[in-house]
Amino acid sequence: MFTLARLLAATSGRVVRGTADPATTFSGGAFDSRILAPTTLFFALRDQRDGHDFVADAIARGARGAVVERVPDGVPADALLVEVSSVPHALRRLAEALRDDQPIPAVGITGNVGKTTAKQALVATLGARYRVLASASSYNNEIGVPLTFLDQEPTHEVAVVELGFYVPGEIADLCGLVRPLVGAITAIPERPVHFERTPSVDAIAAGKAELIEALPPEGVALLNADDPRVRALAPRTRARVVLYGEAAGAELRASGVVDGGLDGVRFTATYAGQTAPVHVPLPGRHFVTAALVGLGAAAELGVPLDEGALALETMEPPAHRMAVRRGRDVTVIDDSYNNSPAALAAALAVLRATDGRRVAVIGDMRELGSLSDAAHDDAGRDAARSADVLIGVGPLAERLVAAARAAGMSAAHQAGDAAEALVLVRRVMRSGDTILVKGSRAIALEQVADALAAGQPVAAR
């Protein structure tokens, strides 16, 4: 929350339309006119489309004003417009100013998989004692991270921020804004997401290391002891290193892990002389990583291990990420947000462990570059042993379906898009089925998950 006076002082902007009342208050910032909340400030950013073309729509949807580089057409005469030389720079300067107005400790999270779930775990564990400012959705880039700080309120006591990597120096730059005291790296798998954007897995590891390189000497780096690439980054930080995981050498350790299928995972956490039983109410052994990040960072910021463990019972999955949704006649495992080799393998492992008839609806794994063919072949073979019925969605998934058929799976079908996939799955599914819907939003598979979870009747056995 911030005022027009703070905005103008931070950005050197000027009011070119509307009433220049310095006490005008904004509840946060937005760059997408379709999803902004009322009383927010719209930033007319240029990316694939020019945000100036949507200022009028933003105002009509309740934005209290807009930051622009020119006065766009079609905007009401009384709409508040603040003109700046560069909208991205203005967004960053405002975020820095609001951060400095109310400094709070921050936790930064990065990794090729598991960032958002680890963030949710931290919101739960830190929430046991503090009011938490957290990244919305996957706001992890040069736009989303500054927007997070625009949501900061006087009552916030700690920040939890995801940090994404596409090019060298990106995380280092974001850390200049976040100033993390604690940094956590989740995992860097052999076949990482967005591989085609980077020259090698080693380059990805170097990019992720920028987070722990930015930590101060009094900071803490939480590194996954079960991931060799993450563990090897330990010498690259001045901060104190805490290894977490199931490995015997981990300081923050999970032992006695019991995978309870759709009811979640249980284990015993041990750290700094404390021990606590943990139940993560999300399906999949891979959520142990997220839980340990939440417990470790919270412990470093003053939350006792047992309090953090109790708080994890309230942890909710991010939207469309391994959410178990009960339809009228079927159970839907909604993991439709994204798709990558490591995440798909984890989701199929959950499906494989369920009772009854199993259906997998799997979309393309995109941006894998030279890894794509082998990744889709392996995924097809994995699907053949994990599901009774497979529906591959998208052009890349044709290879996945072919590999499943070659592995002996007769009930493997191909759909061109989400609409066709929904028709197919409704045709083949039966009452009592468990249906995995696995990414990605690029082909709108969340619409399939939503439709299946809506509870329309399906065929009896």
Domain ranges of the chain: 2-85, 102-312, 323-453
Q: Quick one: pLDDT at residue 318? A: 79
Q: What is the pLDDT of residues 374-430, one digit of tens each?
A: 999 999 999 999 999 999 999 999 999 999 999 999 999 999 999 999 999 999 999
Q: Look at the block and give the residue holding tokens 């104190």.
A: 240
Q: Is the pLDDT of residue 229 over 60?
A: yes
Q: Does pLDDT of 196 surpass 70?
A: no
Residue with tokens 């209290």: 64
Q: How far is CA 163 from CA 188, 384, 458, in A?
A: 14, 35, 42
- The three state secondary structure string of the chain is CEEHHHHHHHHCCEEEECCCCCCCEECCEECCCCCCCCCCEEECCECCCEHHHHHHHHHHCCCCEEEECCCCCCCCCCCCEEECCCHHHHHHHHHHHHHHHCCCCEEEEECCCCHHHHHHHHHHHHCCCCCEEECCCCCCCCCHHHHHHHCCCCCCCEEEEECCCCCCCHHHHHHHHHCCCEEEECCCCCCCCCHHHCCCHHHHHHHHHHHHHCCCCCCEEEEECCCHHHHCCHHHCCCEEEEEECCCCCCEEEEEEEECHHHCEEEEEEECCEEEEEEECCCCCCHHHHHHHHHHHHHHCCCCHHHHHHHHCCCCCCCCCCEEEECCCCEEEEECCCCCHHHHHHHHHHHHCCCCCEEEEEECCCCCHHHHHHHHHHHHHHHHHHCCEEEEECCCHHHHHHHHHHCCCCCEEEECCHHHHHHHHHHHCECCCEEEEECCHHHCHHHHHHHHHCCCCCECC
Average pLDDT over residues 429-444: 91
pLDDT band for 456, please (50, 70, 90 cuts).
Answer: low
- Which band of pLDDT confidence, cut at 50, 70 and 90, is reported for residue 195? low
Q: Which fold has domain 2-85?
A: 3.40.1390
Handedness of CA 416, 418, 424, 425 (dihedral sign): positive
Which residues have a Cβ under 8 Å from the Cβ of 214 and sit 6 or more positions away? 108, 171, 172, 175, 176, 180, 183
Strand partners, 2: 26
What is the C-alpha separation between 262 and 435, in angstroms, rounded?
A: 12
Answer for the pair 145, 108: CB distance below 8 angstroms, yes or no: no
Lowest-pLDDT range of 1-15, 150-164, 312-326: 312-326
**pLDDT-above-90 percentage for the chain:** 84
Mean per-residue pLDDT, 263-287? 95
Q: Are 115 and 51 in contact (CB under 8 A)?
A: no
Query: How do residues 325-336 score in pLDDT, each as one tens digit?
Result: 988 789 999 999
pLDDT at 194 over 70: no
Alpha-carbon distance of 370 to 368, in angstroms, equals 6
Q: Which of 108-117, 187-196, 356-365 has the lowest mean pLDDT?
A: 187-196
Sign of CA dihedral 245, 247, 250, 256: positive
What pLDDT sits at residue 192?
64
Given CA atoms 125, 126, 132, 134 in this order, what sign does their dihedral have? negative
pLDDT exceeding 70 applies to what percent of the chain?
Answer: 97
The CATH homologous superfamily for domain 323-453 is Mur ligase, C-terminal domain (3.90.190.20)
pLDDT of 121 higher than 80: yes
Given a cut of 70, is residue 177 above it in pLDDT?
yes
Between 423 and 136, the more confident residue is 423
pLDDT of residue 112: 87
Whether residue 5 is predicted with pLDDT greater than 50 in this model: the reply is yes
Q: Which of 5-9, 80-84, 454-458 has the lowest mean pLDDT?
A: 454-458
Radius of gyration of the chain (CA): 23
Q: Which of 182, 185, 92, 100 is nearest to 142 (CA)?
A: 92
Q: How confident is the model at residue 150 (pLDDT cuts 50, 70, 90)?
A: very high
Question: What does pLDDT average to over the chain?
Answer: 94
* pLDDT of 459 above 60: no
CB neighbours (10 Å) of residue 131? 13
Long-range contacts of 314-321 (CB under 8 A, 24+ apart): 314/124, 315/120, 315/121, 315/123, 315/124, 315/280, 315/281, 315/282, 315/291, 316/120, 317/117, 317/120, 317/282, 318/116, 318/117, 318/119, 318/120, 318/137, 319/137, 320/441, 320/446, 320/449, 321/116, 321/117
Query: What's the CATH code, domain 102-312?
Result: 3.40.1190.10
| pLDDT for res 193 | 65
pLDDT band at 221 (very low <50, low <70, confident <90, very high): very high
Do 180 and 219 contact (CB within 8 A), yes or no? yes
Q: Would you state the pLDDT for residue 101?
A: 96
Q: Are 264 and 283 in contact (CB under 8 A)?
A: yes
Please give the pLDDT value at position 460: 42
